[in-house]
Homo-oligomer: A and B are copies of this chain.
Amino acid sequence: MWLRNCWYVIAWDHEISSADSPDLFTRTVLDEPVLVYRTQAGEMVALEDRCCHRHAPLSVGRREGDAVRCGYHGLKFDAQGRCIEAPGLAVVPPKACVKRYPVAVKNRWVFVWMGEPEQADTALLPDNFSCDSPDWRNRPGYLHYDTPYLLICDNLLDFSHLSYVHEKSLGGSTRIAQARPEIESVPGPSAAWPQIGIQVSRHVNDVPAPPFYQRFRRFDTHLDRWFVYQFLLPGTLLMHSGGRPTGAAPDAPGPSVRLHSCQTLTPESANTTHYFFQQSHPVGEGDESVTESIYNSLIGAFNEDRDMITAQHRNIQRQPDRPMLPLAMDAALIQFRRLLEVRWRAEQTVLSPAPLSQPAISA
């Protein structure tokens, strides 16, 4: 189950070569192979990576200016996806074209719109400001998962796992799991999107600094920690988090940690997922070594997640229909899954001849 009418991150912008490079970038999103390149004018282009003729991937062909030529029988397509040359044919049939996807680039993330192009709305792009801000520093990351993307959404929607999966990295205290977060609805930008996600706020006071903080900042007191994030359709986490000495005012002097993280999940296929992420610190609060330390901790912790979710997925695959046991800590993930399902059903209604009764949007 995934939505089509939404923006998915397909790449970090540095993954897409400049127009003078012959390289063609391809990545699969929602089981569709997508070719991404930049025109000479700098515009980002996304075409289905499948020639309409015999279905060879265009990415094993070559660029010719702003066009792409298929490497099998030589059909040439412009940046609109129209075939503008077919060897040996005086006239190219108008049906000869490949699908073009709406593209947007925002703060170093390259997004593609996988559904109906006329629905594409840049107001829906998430505010991933810290990915590209003069005030924040980070190192961008990417991981590939061999699990469905919803299991990773579940993980990000319940931070009680920090106490166990990340005991020796991001967590450091069972108090994180014991805290009860506040969960709110995130309204969307228009009537078509009354809700676009969930906001989760978790405050955990008077706990030891996590091993992750200790690697770049020394604390000799307990901390008050916070995790305040939005988790937005289709699968983007935008989070402010940090810690300061217990009881200290937000602007008190002395060591503290403030971070902003942008993470997003893009289904590659039913059972595989792309994961793009970064966690930034303010420019004034640490040099390159702090950036590297945070990145390394994050990679380590996200591998802890991936190991756990992969093991969980193996168990689920043995008996896919076996019910799970909902507990209080699942509140946010249940709300998010419900929101996703409502929109998914609405998409099916549009596409299917016999419309289902459409459930109300959950609060």
Contacts and interface: CB of A to CB of B under 8 A. Distances in A.
A285 interface: no
Interface stretch (A129-137, A154-162, A209-217): A154-162
Interface in A82-105: 86-89, 93, 95-96
Contacts of A163: 74, 87
Q: Report copies per complex.
A: 3
A311 B177 contact: no
A348 interface: no
A328 B177 contact: no
Contacts of A115: none
Given A52-B325, A54-B312, A312-B72, A318 B88 contact: no
A60 B308 contact: yes
Contacts of A116: none
A183 interface: no
A56 B160 contact: no
B73 A160 contact: yes
A90 to B, nearest CB: 10
A177 B73 contact: yes
Contacts of A32: 318
B74 A307 contact: no
B53 A89 contact: no
Contact of A327 (B89, B307, B316): B89
A108 interface: no
- Chain A interface residue bracket vs B: 35 or more
A325 B96 contact: yes
Contacts of A174: 74, 87
A31 interface: yes
Contact of A160 (B87, B178, B312, B329): B87
B164 A311 contact: no
A193 to B, nearest CB: 29
A104 B55 CA distance: 38
Contacts of A158: 73
Contacts of A89: 327-329
A197 to B, nearest CB: 21
Contacts of A187: none
A329 B92 CA distance: 12
Interface in A28-56: 31-33, 49-50, 52-56
B318 A87 contact: no
Contacts of A56: 308, 311-312, 315
A74 B164 contact: yes
A16 interface: no
A324 B312 CA distance: 40
A242 interface: no
Given A160-B73, A161-B73, A95 B325 contact: yes
A329 B88 contact: yes
A49 B316 CA distance: 12
A322 B174 CA distance: 52
Nearest to A96: B325
A161 B87 CA distance: 10
B55 A87 contact: no
A315 B52 CA distance: 11
A116 to B, nearest CB: 19
